[in-house]
Structure 1
Amino acid sequence: MARYWWGQKNEEKKVHWITWKKICKAKPVGGMGFKELQIFNMAMLAKQAWRLLKNRESLFHKMYAARYFSNGDLLATSLGGTPSYAWREIWEAKNLLVKGGRWNVGNGSSIHSLDDA
């Protein structure tokens, strides 16, 4: 993206007049409002992981569950032996959900106090 913005072609070097961090700041605070694509991409992948957790009747969930987490627990599954590129990225993004998630106790039947810390 920087090559496009600064007009770089092939190996030609161009001057980057402003840091990418400043360009990604919001317009009201002096930036250009560009998205940090790596962070944006990870957020979109975490959204897909969330859909796998919440929409258990969807074709998307059934397909991935059959191939990658047949035990039904996305959060406790391993990457597997031959993951697709899409699964590998979703599996990495699910860690964001784990880090930012909180327990919803409900009736407590799914919580194992000795194992879940």
Structure 2
Amino acid sequence: MPLYLLSAWDPPKAVITKIERALANFFWGQKDDKRKFHWCSWSAICLPIIEEGGLGIRSSSDVCITFSMKLWFNIQKGLSLWARFMFGKYCKTRHPIISQPGSYSPMWRRLAPCHMLAESFLFWIVGKGHVSLWYDNWCDLDPLYLLMDEIPSQCSDWRVEDFFVLIK
């Protein structure tokens, strides 16, 4: 249940700090009015077990960022009614990457800081060509808009499928 709340709500940093403090007190807390010895830092405990020698406990702030990235992916793919609603409301005429948070909803403002991180992990398979020529990472480099100084306004909504006719 707490993880679901972190996925649906973006808690303030003070709440995240209190959650992590409660988890840390489990390890370090007190016994008979004596504080326990801190063998390692909280960040070391949150490292993966095998790869980096931590205990594999997830940092609550990392979990929030991960959930935000998952929500961003759902919006990009339109995987739910909520995702299609958010896409339709904030990205009617433009790609989600170039939609700025402005005075949008708290949820959209939550996604704004992490969308570039999420995009760095996304790779789009061309398939039928329904991916954006400029803004989706379909050529295994970076999205092409990052490589260009400026994209002409008349071709900003081009899709890869628009060039299939030229290739055949």
Range of TM-score over shorter length:
0.5 to 0.7
Residue aligning to 1:85: 106
Residue 68 (structure 2) aligned to one of 45, 51, 67: 45
Where is the helix percentage greater, Structure 1 or Structure 2? 2
TM-score (norm 2): 0.50
Structure 1 stretches of 4+ moved >6 Å: none
Residue aligning to 1:34: 57
Shift in Å, 1:103: 5.6
Once residues 46 and 21 of structure 1 are traced to their aligned partners in structure 2, the CA distance between those partners, rounded to angstroms, is: 21
Which stretches in structure 2 are left out of the alignment for 5+ residues? Answer: 1-18, 135-143, 148-168
Which stretches in structure 1 are left out of the alignment for 5+ residues? Answer: 9-13
Shift in Å, 1:54: 0.7
Cα pair distance change 1:86/1:30, threshold 3 Å: same
Q: Which has the higher contact order (CA 8 A, sep 6+)?
A: 1
Percent identity, please: 21
Shift in Å, 1:34: 1.0
| RMSD (CA atoms) | 3.1
Residue 54 (structure 1) aligned to one of 77, 87, 96: 77
Q: For the Cα contact (< 8 Å) 1:105–1:111, is it kept in 2?
A: no
Cα pair distance change 1:67/1:111, threshold 3 Å: closer
Q: For the Cα contact (< 8 Å) 2:47–2:53, is it kept in 1?
A: yes
Q: Does 1:98 align with 2:116?
A: no
Residue aligning to 2:21: 3
| Count of equivalent residues | 108
TM-score (norm 1): 0.67
Deviation string 1:76-100 (CA, Å, 9 cap, x unpaired) is 21112x2222111122221112233
